[in-house]
Amino acid sequence: MASAAQAKDFIKRIAPIIQKEAKARGYKVCSPIIAQACIESAFDGSVLAYKYHNYFGMKCGSSWKGRSVNLRTKEEYTVGQLTTIRDNFRAYQTMEDGVKGYFEFINTKRYANLKTAETPQEYLKRIKADGYATSSTYVNTNMNCISKYNLTEWDWQTPNMDKSIDEIAIEVIDGKWGVGATRKQLLRAAGYNPSMVQARVNEILKNK
C-alpha cells in the first residue's frame, strides 16, 4: 500500500498530464480519470505501472499492435468473488505515452458517452456500465479516492459558469469567498478549480 507521501507524489506527476490530455480531447472532467490511474496502478506501485507505464490496467485486445506484457490480474466476474487470471496488457515507454494510451483506448464508440459526462460520478458510472472494469465497487472506490485527495481541484472551469477566473480571483482578493478550506469548498461547489483561481490570484497580486 502506498504511503500518503507516495500517493501525493504520484498525483503530482500524473495529474497535470491527464488534465492536459482530457481538456484537449474535449472531456468535461478529469478527476475520475486521475482516480482511475491512482487505483488501477496502486499509486504507481504495481509492476504494470512503474515498469510498463500502463496506469489504467488496459488489456491488449485484438486491435493492439504495440508492446505488451503477460501478467496476473484479478477479475470479479461474480460479485464478491475474485478470480485470478493471466492476460496480456498494453505496455508503454513513458508516463505521457501511458496517459495518451488511455485516451486512445477509450476513443471508441463503446466509450463515446464519456465525453458528455459532467460530473466525476457520472463519468465513473458510465465507464463501469460500458464494461471497463468488473469490480462491483469500482465507482465507490474511485469516488472515495477523488474525495480523499481532493482531485476535483484538477477539474477546470465549465462553460455554464457566469464569471471568468479573473473575475473570481478579484472577488477572492476582495474577501468575498472566505479563506482556507472554506474558500476551497465554496469555489468547488460553484464549479471552479481552487488551484487555478489561487494561481490567478497570485499573478494579480504579484503584478500589483
Sign of the dihedral defined by the CA atoms of residues 71, 127, 62, 65, in that order: negative
The domain tally of the chain equals: 2
**Are 134 and 171 in the same domain?**
no
Task: Give a yes or no: residue 159 inside a domain.
Answer: no
**Are 129 and 41 in the same domain?**
yes
> What mean pLDDT do residues 165-188 have?
87
**Are 38 and 135 in the same domain?**
yes
Task: Report the distance separating Cα 105 and Cα 184, nearest Å.
Answer: 33
Per-residue confidence (pLDDT) for residue 160, from 0 to 100: 47
**Are 143 and 183 in the same domain?**
no
Q: Whole-model pTM above 0.85?
A: no
**Are 93 and 145 in the same domain?**
yes
Task: Give a yes or no: residue 136 inside a domain.
Answer: yes
**Are 90 and 144 in the same domain?**
yes
**Are 65 and 131 in the same domain?**
yes
Indicate which CATH number applies to the domain containing 23.
1.10.530.10
**Are 148 and 173 in the same domain?**
no
Task: Report the distance separating Cα 103 and Cα 78, nearest Å.
Answer: 28
pLDDT band at 159 (very low <50, low <70, confident <90, very high): very low
**Are 110 and 182 in the same domain?**
no
**Are 113 and 199 in the same domain?**
no
Task: Report the distance separating Cα 203 and Cα 165, nearest Å.
Answer: 12
Region of poorest pLDDT, from 92-101, 114-123, 163-172: 163-172
> What mean pLDDT do residues 103-115 have?
96
> What mean pLDDT do residues 184-196 have?
79
Per-residue confidence (pLDDT) for residue 197, from 0 to 100: 86
> What mean pLDDT do residues 132-161 have?
83
Residue-number span of the structural domain to which 100 is assigned = 4-154
Cell representation of residue 39: 487505483
> What mean pLDDT do residues 136-160 have?
83
